[in-house]
Structure formats: C-alpha cells, structure tokens
Amino acid sequence: MKSNFNRRQFIKNTGMAGLAAGIGLNWKQPHNLILKTGWVQEPLGYAYDALEPVIDAQTMEIHYTKHAAGYAKNLAEAAKEEGVQTSSTTVEEVLSRISKYSTKMRNNAGGHYNHELFWKILRKPSDSNLPAGKINEWIRRDFNSFEAFQKEFNTAATTRFGSGWAWLVALPDSKLKVVSTANQDNPLMDIAEIKGFPVLGLDVWEHAYYLKYQSRRPDYINAWWKLVNWDFVGTRFAQLKK
C-alpha cells in the first residue's frame, strides 16, 4: 500500500502531465522553468576556459559550438519535417514518445536535451565539492553514502560501451538510481530500459574529453566531480519534488 501511495504522490508532486506508462512516467509538461528545455540552444553561461584545468577551453568551444549546436540545428529541422508544433509541445513530451518519431528526431532531441542539461550542471572547479540539502539526504538514503553513490556512478560512466551518458535519475517511486544510456538517448525516452527523470548527467562521448584525456576516460570522470554544480542540481531536484 505504501508503494502505491508513493507512486501517486510522486506523480502529483512533480506537477507534470501524463500518467504512468508501464514502469515509467511521461514527463510531458514540466511545471517549472528550471525543469524545462527550450527548442533552441541557450547561451553557455560561462567562458570556454571557465572549467579549466578539468575541461580545457578548446574542448569546451568545440563541444558547444560544433557538437551541441549541431544537435540544436538538426532538431529544428526534424521538428519542421515531422510536424512538431514547438510553440505548444515541449522537448520532454517528444522524448516521452520518441519511438513514434524518426531516428533523426531521436538522436537530435536527445542530444539537444542532454547537452542543455549538461552545461547547467557544470561550474568552476572546486576540490571540496559535495551536495547539500535534500539531494544530499536522498543520495545518502538510497545509496547509503555519497562515496557509494559516486563509485556506482563512476562505474556506470566508465563501463558504458562506446559513446553515451551516465545519469542519476528519479524513478516513478521517488527513489534515486544510477543508469547509463547509449549515444544521445536518455531516461525520459519511452524506449529507455529504465525510465526516470534526469537529475544529473555526464557526457562520456570522446568529444567531451579526448583532447585532454585521450583514452583515459576514468581520469576525466574522476576529475569531473570537481565541476558539478550541486546548487543547480539541488534546486532542480527540489523543484521536481514540489
């Protein structure tokens, strides 16, 4: 009985349209701007060299102006070609039923959403960078400790074969879980093996780190923790829980 209540309460508290579909939710209409993703690429919000020495300026510039910009451009084309009314349909809604769209839409809606989130969860490096508040409490509740969560996340990011992402997601029953997805897929998609709302995501495509780290993906992942903007992640999580 408690599990059913938690599920209903999670749907109510998120304030997002859509009912549970299978084991997942359709997060179609995020209720707060911090949870929404626009259809165009937003300004980066900091200089390309702001994340050094963890991520170098050249990587950031190429990543943002070439790779991410390409996803935004191709997403606009796909939306036009497939009749998506971007004025009344959210990116999240398209992702929640991505199986009904083309491969072009899947790759570029996913790539755009993933990168728009990724930029926001990065900040100037800090050697003492830990979460606080509710997100910290829930991480410790569901993983026993921050260190255990970090180890599980690192494993997901390191062992993701080829290109993809590692995620911390909120599941429909409100629990937090670490998952990974291939290419530009994400847990909002109806084709995702495990569906959930992305709270934190890490890009482990080679273009995100290769100029500095070459094949040393684990070094990039370990260094990345210095960049996580836990203030943003915590605020994002708090808005999800309202």
pLDDT digits (tens, 9 = 90+) for 82-138: 999 999 999 999 999 999 999 999 999 999 999 999 999 999 999 889 999 999 999
Burial class (CB in 10 A: 0-12, 13-18, 19+), 147: exposed
> What element of type H or E holds 5?
helix 2-14
Q: How far apart are CA 89 and CA 193, in angstroms?
A: 24
Distance between CA atoms of residues 186 and 197, nearest Å: 9
pLDDT tens column, 138-159: 999 999 999 999 999 999 999 9
Q: How far apart are CA 8 and CA 10, in angstroms?
A: 5
Q: What is the mean pLDDT of residues 12-19?
A: 33
Q: Give the orientation angle of helix 2-14 with respect to helix 230-241, to 10 degrees.
A: 110
DSSP-based three-state secondary structure for 178:
strand
Is the preceding omega at residue 172 within 30 degrees of 0, hence cis?
no
Q: Which of 33, 55, 35 is nearest to 46 (CA)?
A: 55
pLDDT at position 108 is: 98
- In this predicted structure, what is the pLDDT of residue 35? 76
Q: In the prediction, which pLDDT does 33 show?
A: 57
Dihedral over Cα of 160, 167, 42, 216: its sign: negative
pLDDT given at position 174: 80
Instruction: Kindly state the DSSP code that residue 39 receives in the 8-state scheme.
Output: S
Which sequence spans correspond to the domains of the chain? 1-35+83-101+121-242
Model confidence at 2, in pLDDT bands (50, 70, 90)?
Answer: very low
* 216 pLDDT above the threshold of 70: yes
pTM listed for this prediction? 0.86
Report, as an integer, the average pLDDT of 192-208. 96
Q: Does pLDDT of 200 surpass 70?
A: yes
Nearest in space to 23 (alpha carbons), one of 196, 199, 220, 203: 196
Phi first, then psi: give them for residue 182, nearest 5 degrees. -85, 155
Architecture of domain 1-35+83-101+121-242: 3-Layer(bab) Sandwich (3.55)
What's the angle, vertex CA 202, arms to CA 62 and CA 95, rounded to 5?
90
Among residues of the chain, what percentage have pLDDT more than 70? 85
- pLDDT average, residue stretch 71-87: 97
Answer whether residue 4 shows pLDDT above 80: no
Residue 242: CB atoms within 10 A of its CB come to 9
What does the pLDDT average to over 18-30? 37
